[in-house]
Structures are given as C-alpha cells and as structure tokens.
Amino acid sequence: MNKTQNETFAREMVLLSGKAKMRTERKFTSVNDRLSTFLTPHGSKMALVQRSQNIFQKFIRSIPGITLAAWVAVGFATISTNASAADLTDVNKIVNKANLAAFYSGADGRAETRMQIVDSQGRKQTRQFTILRRDYINDGKDGGDQQYLVLFSYPSDIRGTLFLVEKHPGGDDDRWLYLPGLDLVKRIASGDKRTSFVGSDFFYEDVSGRGLSEDHHKLIETTDKFYVVLNTPKNPSNVEFVNYQVWIDKKTFMPVKTEYTDNAGKIYRRIEALQVKTIQGFPTATRMKVSNLRTGGYTLNEMRFISYDLGMPADIFSERSLRNPPRQWFKRPAAK
C-alpha cells in the first residue's frame, strides 16, 4: 500500500499526538466448425451449400475486480474499509456500464482483425478480416440491437466471404452468409451462440456480446482495481457452463478477464484483455486471448486501424451488400 501524508492534517495531529498518518491506495488501471475451405477442389456445390449451413450457427470479454482499500487516520484511531464511497454497489449498473464499454463504443466502428489460432500441439492458423459495426439508437439509448458486416481477406480460400449479422440482445441473431465462389447468399438459421467462431477459441457470443438479461448477476467482490461479478445463466440447459466470473476495471468499466466454470467446479475457459488502449476517447481492447484450459489451445486476437463514429449509413448492412460490398467503408481510412 502506498504511503502519503496529508501535510495540513499531519501538522495538526503531530502537535496533538505525533502519531497521525494517512494511508491511501488509489491505483486504477485501466463456425462451431472452422471456417474451413468453402471451395474444395473436389467438393460438389451441394456439399458446399450443406457445409455452409453447418458452419454458421452463431455470430460473433471476463474480467478482473475492484477493492479500494482506504486507511484514514482520525485522531489516534486508524479505520480500514474495503470500498470507497465512490464505488458502485448496484450490480446492474456495473454490468450495464461494462456491456456498453465492451461492445458499444461510438455509434459505429471499423476494425481490422488478425486472429492466430494455436492448437494443443502448437500448430498455428491465421484468419484476417475487417469488421464494420453500427448501433441502433432507440430513444437516445444505446445498448440494444446492432448490425455487423464482416469481410474475410485471409486465407485465400475464404477471401471475399462475407457475413451479415443483425444482433438482437436477449434474442436470436439473424445471419446471412455469402460464398463468392458459388455466388450464393444463404440465410443461416439461428443456432447455438456458444460455438466456435471461424474455427477459433472465440465463440460468436464473445464477439458480439451476451445479453445481460440471460444471466443473474451478483457483485461478489470490490477490490482497489476491479468489480468482480458472478454471472449465473437463467437457462442452464442452453449453455455449457455453470457460471462465469468477470473482472471489470473500475475506471474504464472494461471487462479484463472472464473465467468460465463447468459442472465439476473447474475453470475450463478464460478470456483476457491483454492490451487496452484509448481510441477517440473510448477504452478499446486491442489485444485479447481466449484459452481452452482443457486442451491447452488458445487464440490471440489483435485489432488495428480502429475508428469510431464514421457515420455509416444503415443501408450498407443489407443483403445487397453481400454481393456488392461497400468497399469505401472496408477501405482503410487515410491517416490523419
């Protein structure tokens, strides 16, 4: 714990007792299947269509907590406390702020993503794609429906593949997939959100966010840096976990770590924000890691060329854009 002196107070108390000290600590820190080859040398068109139906079942952070320990010298007595008067105690406010910080920066956004998938034997695969996002603002409030358009550029066998997603928190997302080699647009039926995103350790739900109404939330600890929240699913049969804990940065409200527990009481999956930067005033996780603690595999996700509030029109998030992508929005913005 850092030691500082309140000089004015100290002078008065030293005159009285010579024992007054104040200690404070104020540190703040801020598909199910691999998106495998859609076009194979010997694959039939029918087989490819069937594969596309199986790949996209759901589209695309938990987090360390906060204990603010304060020691205050009052007369001859020293009082300790686990939370400051400024700490939030309403868990619903905390998780709502964390949800907005993680998934709703700006009214829209663009980012280029490089994903490295490493299996238990150390073998690596790479995915590269650009994500466009737009939020629906209802009655001036954010945190609701969103639109995503994702264009893959690497590897070559999936280059030009696009996904369109209409995210509906608390409900099923709508998805469309475009396979350029077949010139095929396919609406993907709603499936399990908790399946692999493009063959990685990320789930679709990790990318677009889990609906807050799907879990019971409990604030179990407040430390000097984090709020630690325990989340228990309201419908356990729909998920593979019993609960998960999220560590939320007290200053930025960014989720920095999430750990999932299985039926045996073991932590089997972990998500970490390895790097958080402030971009256009928004805290942004630019480097993340998802670890499969059962297999030893993991996925690193790095985001670059991130921009917010670009003024994206709603009409670029349409089925028409799958065959005719809005190139001007996918194009990397010129450096300012």
> Which amino acid is located at 242 in the chain?
V
Give domain status of residue 180, yes or no: yes
CATH number for the domain that contains residue 27: 2.50.20.10
The whole-chain average pLDDT of the chain stands at 78
d(CA 313, CA 152): 21
How many angstroms separate the CA atoms of 43 and 37, rounded?
10
pLDDT at 15 over 90: no
Confidence of residue 33 (pLDDT cuts 50, 70, 90): very low
220-241 tens-digit pLDDT? 999 999 999 999 999 999 899 9
Which are the contacts of 244, defined by CB distance < 8 A and separation ≥ 6?
Answer: 62, 230, 231, 258, 259, 260, 261
Report pLDDT for 192: 65
- Its domain, for residue 242, covers 3-60+62-330
Q: What angle do CA 232, 30, 259 make, to 5 degrees?
A: 25
Instruction: Using only the alpha carbons of the chain, give its radius of gyration.
Output: 23
Tens-place pLDDT, residues 94-122: 999 999 999 999 999 999 999 999 999 99
Q: How many helices (H) and strands (E) does the chain have?
A: 6, 17
- The reported pLDDT for the residue numbered 171 is 79
Spacing of C-alpha 217 from chain mean position: 17
What is the domain count for the chain?
1
What was the pLDDT predicted at 139?
56
Asked whether the whole model's pTM tops 0.95, one would answer no
User: Higher-confidence residue: 200 or 80?
Assistant: 200
Residue 7 located in a structural domain: yes
Rounded to 5 degrees, φ, ψ at 296 are 90, -5
Confirm whether 246 is domain-assigned: yes
Give per-residue pLDDT as tens, 152-196: 999 998 899 998 989 888 778 888 889 998 999 988 766 667 888
pLDDT at 49 over 70: no
Q: What is the DSSP string of 124-152?
A: EEEEEEEEEEEE--BTTB-SS-EEEEEEE
| 288-325 confidence digits (pLDDT tens) | 999 999 999 999 999 999 999 999 999 999 999 999 99
Question: What span, in angstroms and rounded, lies between the C-alpha atoms of 78 and 20?
Answer: 9
Do the domain assignments include residue 335?
Answer: no
- Residue 103 burial class via C-beta count within 10 angstroms: exposed 0-12, middle 13-18, buried 19 and up: buried
**Which of residues 83 and 278 earns the better pLDDT score?**
278
